[in-house]
Amino acid sequence: MTDGPEGASRDDVFDQDTYLSDGYDHHGDDGGHGVQAHADDYGGHSHVGYDSGDAAYETYETYGEDTGAFGFAEDSRRARRERRNAGRGARRFVVLLVALGLIAGAGYLGYSAIRPLLERSSESADYPGPGGAALTFTVKDGDTGRAIGSSLQSAGIVLTAKAFVDACNAEARCAGIQPGDYAVKKEMRAADVLAILVDPKNRQNPKVTIREGLWASEIYALLGKATKHATSDYEAAAKSPDVLALLPTSAGGNVEGYLFPATYEFSEKDSAATQLKAMIGKAVKVLNDLKVPSDQAEKLMIIASIVEAEAKRPEDRAKVARVVLNRLAKPMRLQLDSTVSYGVKKRAITTTDAERATVNAWNTYTKDGLPGGPISNPGIASIEAAAAPVAGAWLFFVAVNPETGETKFAATQAEHDQYVAEFQAWCNAPENKGKCSR
């Protein structure tokens, strides 16, 4: 079998240069296959898969290493290292590109996830309005614009508290928002909600006016009617520790006299205790503003309650207070019909002999000194009169005209008797028949 050039046998004829040259002549059309065939036959180490030029180079390289015949094995090793390094660099570049792509993709996905949050916290984060389901929102006493905004956001009325606060900062009337209930909707524009809250006409709370001089029992009935609480709720609340804790120490746990007369806006959500505490808080503030010592508060409020019950005209209030103090200083029993009426819980211009003879803690006909507690809930004018009575020597007073409130003051019994006669004449006048009697 011949495999070399011109039939030369493998055993006796082997010219390397000629063989390799002829190998390329005879097998060049086959790519690397011809070289691979010879390498297999002669135990060479060439590699499958290279093109004709690379395969030939690998054959030269391999034979050169094996035989030392060609003299450039060192150059071949360096070439291999360069090719390997070049391949590694390319792979590293591809890996870097892939990594950068993954990072960019993750960044985009992360931004997409937090974008709604970023938009919500921006200044323009607001519902478009006009709103959906109707509901009632309550502004509490002492709420700031920020507190209102947080409550609105929690209730789903505005998208963000910031949107409301920004609208509030741009509206001077925001500082005047009053406590109460307001009709609003879900998902409203912050500016639209603000427009509702700054208008007192939009408050839904029932208004209840507590006028001066009412008894606590009468006040409970008015409050209960307005807020749908039972009178018994107020009676229980008046004895609760959190309510009594607000009273001056000298009050002895009695709320009578400290339910400050004013117009209130209580809702059904406000408990009886909450309502009483609000009223007592106003009365205590008046006393504090007048710098009345806590141990003197009860005496002053008792006198103020008598002033409220007896004086009908503003100019008479400080005089009534003076009469009370003068009689206490004598001492003389006060003998006031207003204290008798409170004791028997009957309102009338005059009292009966039987009522005046009744013994109780408030009847100043049968007891010395002041009544056992306030006999009404006085307003600020009567409290101020009790705190600063006018100077005078009067010991008596009588309303000679109960309808107009005209009252005359006297320093002597004789003078007082004359004024009592005027009062009786008014009562006996045909046009006033029945007004002074029970």
How many alpha carbons fall within 13 Å on the CB side of residue 209?
Answer: 2
The ranges of the chain annotated as CATH 3.30.1490 are 134-202
Encode 12-38: b = buried (16+ Cβ within 10 Å), e = exposed: eeeeeeebbebbbeebeeebbebbbbb
d(CA 165, CA 158): 11
Per-residue pLDDT at 282: 97
Query: What residues form DSSP beta bridges with 399?
Result: 407
Q: Are 269 and 311 in contact (CB under 8 A)?
A: no
d(CA 425, CA 412): 21
d(CA 206, CA 268): 9
Sign of the dihedral through C-alpha 416, 418, 419, 424: positive
Per-residue pLDDT at 269: 83
Per-residue pLDDT at 188: 96
Give DSSP secondary structure letters for 232-293: HHHHHHTTSHHHHTTS-GGGTT--TT-S--SEEE--TTS-HHHHHHHHHHHHHHHHHHTT--
161: DSSP letter:
H
Which residues, 6 or more positions from 250, have their beta carbon under 8 angstroms from its beta carbon?
294, 295, 296, 297, 298, 299
d(CA 97, CA 89): 12
pTM of the model: 0.62
Cis peptide before 371 (omega within 30 of 0): no
Q: Looking at the domain covering 134-202, what would its CATH class be?
A: alpha beta
Kindly list the distances between the CA atom of residue 23 and the CA atoms of 11, 36, 48, 317, in Å, as whole numbers in the listed order. Answer: 18, 10, 16, 138
Structure tokens at 332: 């003389």
d(CA 196, CA 385): 41
Which residues, 6 or more positions from 71, have their beta carbon under 8 angstroms from its beta carbon?
64
d(CA 184, CA 197): 9
H helices of 33-72, where? Answer: 33-41, 52-67
d(CA 15, CA 188): 99
Give residue-wise pLDDT tens across range 149-183.
999 999 999 999 999 999 999 999 999 998 888 99
Q: Are 320 and 382 in contact (CB under 8 A)?
A: no
Query: What residues form DSSP beta bridges with 134?
Result: 185
Q: Are 158 and 152 in contact (CB under 8 A)?
A: yes
Give DSSP secondary structure letters for 91-155: HHHHHHHHHHHHHHHHHHHHHHHHHHHHHHHSTT----SS--SEEEEEEPTT--HHHHHHHHHHT
Residues of the chain where predicted confidence (pLDDT) is lower than 70: 1-102, 104-124, 438
Per-residue pLDDT at 84: 65
d(CA 195, CA 145): 13
Per-residue pLDDT at 230: 97
Q: Are 230 and 220 in contact (CB under 8 A)?
A: no
Query: What residues form DSSP beta bridges with 426?
Result: none
